[in-house]
Chains A and B, each alone.
Chain A
Amino acid sequence: MILLEEILKKYPKEEEYLIEILLEYQTSKKNHHITSEDVSRISEYLGIPESQVCSVISFYTLLSTKPKGKYVIQVCQNIPCFVNDSQNIYDKIVELLGIHDGETTKDGLFTLELTECIGYCNQSPAIRINTDVYASLTPQKVEKIIDDLRGEKQ
């Protein structure tokens, strides 16, 4: 909770900062999610009902109450990526990690998600891993990226 207090201190006690607080906190947490204790503390700080905090978390796709892996891999599935073989990229990740859309690897390292356009249609197929975008991908490049991330762990 120390991390949350540090972040709360930076924001005025106004409900309009709810989304900013949630995003900053979740991004800085290792498993990228908001717990029920976090919800209580944030609602207390902003002076709004817990239900309001929950309604915001459940509305926005970047926010989650479910723990995720250290690396959240989001594969774009919209038309500009789709017509440039994004399915091959997704299939390669499934093959490498043994998980599907919405699942996390047992070691807690990777979560795989299908996502909507990430705005790199000029370099599709593209994926996002946490806050970084990887574009102009091939299955070979994806294998290298995942190997590199696994290496970082050791």
Chain B
Amino acid sequence: MIQQKLITKRFGKVNPTSLESYRNHDGYLGLEKALSMHPTKIIDEIETSKIRGRGGAGFPTHIKVRALSKQSGTKYIVCNADEGEPGNFKDRMIMENDPHAILEGMIILAYATGAEKGFIYIRGEYQNAIKLIKSTIKEAEDNHLLGKNILNKNFDFDIEVRSGAGSYVCGEEFALIESIEGKPGRSRVKPPFPTEKGIHELPTLINNVETFANFAHIILMGGDAFAQIGTASSTGTKLISLSGNVKNRGLYEVPFGTSIRDVIFKLGKGVKNNRPIKMVQLGGASGPLIPEYMLDMSIDFDRFENFDSKTGTGAIIVIDDRFDLFDVLLNNMHFFVGQSCGKCAPCREGHTQIVNLLMKFINHQATDKDLMSLENLANVIQQTSLCGLGQTSMTSIISSLRYFRDDYFMKVRY
């Protein structure tokens, strides 16, 4: 058994449009238990569970939750469902298969932190999910799970859906906040962090869809039991969006510590037509490109940090030997040229220059100097960009310079 189902255990069994069906599958038991606990105790359980954010950066969730709980006055909780990273579809699957689980997690967190208003920010392309989440919220309101005096407790909480309008950068937390305020999604300088000054300058906690879906399980099983799943630094399970040239593409849930090779070959049943793997991209367009010999690496936040990668999204894109490294790099970089918000120069200008340099390699016009320029510029963009977009967009370039350097030399003109 490679898979361990926690988040996906209800998928296919529960009727996503029925609260009754959700309740018949242990739905809202986590909330009921949470409401019998002191809010501080809930945050203690989250800390004990050692859960880290599932949206990409892997930040320890309890730090943000406790920071929000210490703020006074109006505060917000936001579920980030702006899943725009190419290769990811896990959040869409949770929203479409088990939408109440997201609400339950948000309500638990609202109770724990004293937040009175929540938003679910869903990318505009996910029309099915938007419709379903809106009807799920209505159903929860009709059954005293949202609104005033939730489950007869002295506790009020509302959730509103906000739609994205086609912008990758809005998955970045400050860009998302700007978008919720009705503005173009351009990030802000940190600090202050969202838990200090977020939406309308008020304290705001933002978590990914998958992170929210974990809270009811943490409360029900207890933080200690949750921390037993996975590895010491990365607890719990991870949803993996497996795509590319594999036989069985799809969504899989594995405990942290599972190897990438097992996901591709045991769950994905290997490469289509049994072709050799040229490279695997982890996390999405902002993730590293690794060669076949590195596939025994385990899925674990700390392992990924070794190559400056933020791979909490859990996408694995398999690319077979029919494709050239530069096809993939150019595709990724065109994506970032289009998605940069334009606020800071390294990101706005840098990506265009990276494309120009890559074209030189593709046309066999690059020299040794261009190779150095590419390496330098990639590092400048990564280190000087304002937000997560430019700070991670160069990962495929930087990792390929390390693991596929021969591919560059093959294109250099001597």
A contact residues vs B (CB 8 Å cutoff): 14-20, 22-23, 52, 55-56, 59-63, 77-80, 82-84, 116-124, 128, 131-133
Contact = CB atoms under 8 A, between A and B. Distances in A.
Interface stretch (B86-94, B254-262, B384-392): B86-94
B182 A121 contact: no
A38 to B, nearest CB: 15
B291 interface: no
Contact of A56 (B84, B184, B244, B315): B184
A19 B85 contact: no
B369 to A, nearest CB: 29
A60 B123 CA distance: 11
B276 interface: no
Contacts, number: 124
B395 interface: no
A80 B184 contact: no
Contact of B249 (A14, A17, A22, A122): A122
Given A78-B331, A83-B244, A121-B89, 17 more contacts: A15-B182, A16-B180, A19-B179, A22-B165, A56-B182, A56-B183, A59-B341, A61-B166, A77-B331, A78-B335, A79-B87, A84-B245, A116-B335, A119-B123, A121-B86, A122-B241, A131-B127
Contacts of B83: 119
B242 interface: yes
A119 B89 contact: yes
Interface string B332-362: 1001001101000000000000000000000
A62 B92 CA distance: 19
Interface string B163-200: 11111100000000001111111000000000000000
Given A23-B165, A84-B244, A119 B249 contact: no
B184 A78 contact: no
A119 B180 contact: no
23 contacts: A19-B163, A22-B165, A56-B183, A56-B184, A59-B185, A60-B165, A60-B166, A61-B167, A62-B166, A63-B165, A78-B87, A79-B244, A80-B244, A82-B327, A116-B86, A116-B335, A117-B86, A118-B125, A119-B88, A121-B86, A122-B251, A123-B249, A128-B125
Nearest to B281: A79
Contacts of A78: 86-87, 285, 331, 335
- Among all A-B residue pairs, the 7 with the closest Cβ atoms: A62-B166, A61-B166, A60-B165, A59-B184, A121-B243, A78-B86, A117-B86
B265 interface: no
For the side of the interface on B, what is the size category?
A: 35 or more
Central interface residue in B84, B86, B92, B242, by most chain A CB within 10 Å? B86
B57 interface: no
Contacts of A122: 89, 241-243, 249-251
Given A79-B317, A83-B245, A116-B168, A16 B181 contact: yes
B65 interface: no
A55 B184 contact: yes
A77 B332 CA distance: 10
A13 to B, nearest CB: 12
A117 B83 CA distance: 9
B319 A119 contact: no
Nearest to B186: A59
A123 B250 CA distance: 8
Contacts of B85: 117
Contacts of B335: 78, 116
A61 B340 CA distance: 12
Contacts of A121: 86-89, 241, 243-244, 249, 315, 317
Nearest to B88: A119
B411 interface: no
Nearest to A136: B249
Contacts of A77: 331
B88 A83 contact: no
Nearest to A61: B166
A118 B164 CA distance: 13
